[in-house]
Chains A and B, each alone.
Chain A
Amino acid sequence: SQTIHQWPATLVQPVGSPLSLECTVEGTSNPNLYWYRQAAGRGLQLLFYSVGIGQISSEVPQNLSASRPQDRQFILSSKKLLLSDSGFYLCACSKGVRETQYFGPGTRLLVL
């Protein structure tokens, strides 16, 4: 079965600094990949999803971007972090549309 790794587990960054969060998947090929954010007191919000290498769809206009350089690697980036980027970021994968999604352990980001 698939396993999702995320790193780092926690990150404290100053406002204006760049960001790179990494997600890798084991145990499956050609998965759909997703980035979610959970802000304090709010539910999970889908940020980006990808159905293949180099294919990225953005759900919410924001200060972040995503890339998928390899089949099982999904990266969340920012050139300049904002305070509002603080939150808990989850990576997920699924075998196809409408299939169960499997989640990584998450990265907690605090922007000061």
Chain B
Amino acid sequence: AQRVTQPEKLLSVFKGAPVELKCNYSYSGSPELFWYVQYSRQRLQLLLRHISRESIKGFTADLNKGETSFHLKKPFAQEEDSAMYYCALTTSYGKLTFGQGTILTVHP
């Protein structure tokens, strides 16, 4: 069965500092990985997906199949990045398996 692990429940950084939200997964097939974000008082929404290989709001994430990781990175964090971040994996059936989530707080 697939599993997604986000080891950090809380992550605090200062504005302008680099940030990395960790995500590791286990799945025997060929997964598709996503990062979803929930800002305060907003709906859960897609931030990026590995298949797109694009940068959204300065965030990037690289799928490392050897380490089974999909860490989310941003070189210079902004206060508006403060939110709950979920890493998620989907299989061929389209069912999303979410990690526990990481609450990112960016201090001024």
Q: Is B68 an interface residue (CB 8 A)?
A: no
Q: In the complex, which range does the number of interface residues on chain A fall in?
A: 20 to 34
Of A15-23, A39-47, A62-70, A71-79, the one with at least 4 CB within 8 A of chain B: A39-47
Bound CA–CA A94/B34 (angstroms): 14
Q: A100: which B residues are within 8 A, CB to CB?
A: 34, 46, 49
Of B13-21, B54-62, B74-82, B86-94, the one with at least 4 CB within 8 A of chain A: B86-94
User: Number of B interface residues, CB 8 Å?
Assistant: 21
Bound CA–CA A97/B93 (angstroms): 6
Q: B101: which A residues are within 8 A, CB to CB?
A: 43-44
Q: Which B residues form the contact surface with A (CB < 8 A)?
A: 4, 6, 32, 34, 43-46, 49, 86, 90, 92-101
Q: A92: which B residues are within 8 A, CB to CB?
A: 96
Q: B45: which A residues are within 8 A, CB to CB?
A: 102-103
Q: B97: which A residues are within 8 A, CB to CB?
A: 46
Q: Mark A84-112, 1 if CB is under 8 A from B, else 0.
A: 00000010101011111111111000000
Bound CA–CA A46/B43 (angstroms): 17
